[in-house]
Amino acid sequence: MNTVNRRHFERFRTQPMYTPVSVRTLDNERFTFEGHAYDISEGGVQFELDRGIDPGIPVAVQITLPSGGRADDLGPGRSVFVFGNVIWLDDSEPGPVRMAVAFTSFARLGDRERLLNQLGSGFFARAA
């Protein structure tokens, strides 16, 4: 069997309880939803929230990456802010709703580099 990887970016697993995300729809000024990331790449993130957001909805996401034990990487500088669109959700199970966002842009100067540095640090395992 020949499988083709259609992804543009390599995904990395995160430790969900240690990789919090905050999400807001673009018509909201505050991050109103909180959850945890399951995997992340340069192009998107899979996470869970207590409430689903419909596919196609544009959102802003704050992802707080674990420090990986690096003493020089503490505080709010670990957060990456992105804009994106919800591309799928799975609410088939009771409890938190798992969904994914494809990034459309990074919100702040340096966010993309911060994310790439963390993903290349060796702290995160590659996802299947």
- What's the pLDDT at 71? 47
- β-bridge pairing 58-64 and 44-49: unpaired
In a domain, 31, yes or no: yes
Give me the phi and psi of 53, to 5 degrees please. -120, 130
5 within domain boundaries:
no
Total number of domains in the chain: 1
* pTM (2 d.p.): 0.86
Q: Does residue 4 lie within any of the structural domains? A: no
In this structure, is residue 1 part of a structural domain? Answer: no
Nearest to 61 by CA among 10, 115, 103: 103
- Render pLDDT for 9-44 as a digit per residue (tens, 0 to 9): 899 999 868 899 999 999 999 999 999 999 999 999
Please write the tens of the pLDDT for every residue from 67-112: 655 545 544 567 999 999 999 999 998 999 999 999 999 999 999 9
Which structural domain, as residue segments, surrounds residue 75? Answer: 12-123
**30: helix, coil or strand?**
coil
Q: Which has more pLDDT, 76 or 57?
A: 57
CATH number of the domain residue 43 falls in: 2.40.10.220
